[in-house]
Amino acid sequence: MINLVQNIINGIKKKSNRRDIQISMLDFPPIGILNDDLTKQLENILKIKINHREFFEQAITHRSFIQVMNDSAIQSNERLEFLGDAVLNLVVADHLFITNTTVDEGDLTKMRSWLVNKNSLALFAKNIELEKFVKLSFSAAKALESGSDSILADALEAIIGAIYLDSGHEAAKNFIIYSILPVVVNNDVMVDKNYKSLLLEEVQSQGEEAPKYNVLEEIGPDHNKEFIVGVFVHNEMLGIGQGKSKKQAEQIAADNALKKLKEANM
Best CA proximity match to 206, nearest among 261, 152, 141, 133: 261
Active-site residue, selected from the candidate residues 85, 166, 250, 255: 85
Query: Who contacts 263 (Cβ-Cβ below 8 Å, separation ≥6)?
Result: none
Best CA proximity match to 171, nearest among 160, 182, 185: 160
Active-site residue, selected from the candidate residues 54, 81, 157, 250: 157
Burial class, 45, CB count within 10 angstroms (exposed 0-12 / middle 13-18 / buried 19+)? middle
* Type of residue at 86: A
Q: What's the rounded Cα separation, in Å, for the pair 235 and 223?
A: 32
Is 85 among the residues known to form the active site?
yes
Is 36 among the residues known to form the active site?
no
**Catalytic annotation, residues:** 85, 157
